[in-house]
Amino acid sequence: MKPDVEDLAHDLRLVTGALIRSVEGGNTLPPITGAVLGLLARRGAMTSSDLAALRRVRPQTMAVTVKELLEAGYLATAPHPVDGRKILLDLTARGRTAVLADREGRVRRIADGLGAGLPDADLQTLARAVPVLARLVDDLGGAIDEPLVNA
């Protein structure tokens, strides 16, 4: 029997939201710092204005965040190759290390949960669901900015 798509959407929203919240509790970086560093790690160097647009915040708000990240040694600046009035921001080695450690912590937390007693059949079901969820993300206009391991 085909599931009701409204009910499935409701349940999927609840479960994915709860999964994200349960994993974020172990983050090593503050949420805004992790989000900005993560964008730069996934998409490469960009301007503060680009970051503001992607994060949907005002440029002034992003300027404060960028200043803090520069002072913390997470970001470096370089002249824009085309527009000399702009400055590109990119991760330093310290910034890359911090964002990778934060990601690895989230992956470890999920892996620990998966390995804590889920039967093999459930693990296989989840493995089959990942490409389906990836297609849903794509259909909804989202993007997964890193390659899937088992795609």
Backbone angles phi, psi at 119, to 5 degrees: -65, 155
* Residues with pLDDT less than 50, the chain: none
Contact 59, 100 (CB under 8 A): no
Please report the pLDDT score of residue 28 as a whole number: 87
Q: Residue 54 belongs to a domain with what CATH number?
A: 1.10.10.10
Q: What is the pLDDT of residues 113-135, one digit of tens each?
A: 999 989 999 999 999 999 999 99
101 falls within a domain: yes
Q: Note whether residue 80 is domain-resident.
A: yes
Does residue 11 lie in a domain region? yes
Helices 31-43, 48-55: axis angle to 10 degrees equals 110
Helix/strand/coil for 90: strand
Give 99's Cβ-side CA count (13 Å radius): 21
DSSP state of 123: H
- Does residue 35 fall inside a structural domain? yes
Specify if 150 maps to a domain: no
145 domain-assigned: no
Domain interval for residue 53: 5-117
Q: Tens of pLDDT along 97-115? A: 999 999 999 999 999 999 9
Structural domain tally of the chain? 1
- Does pTM surpass 0.85? no
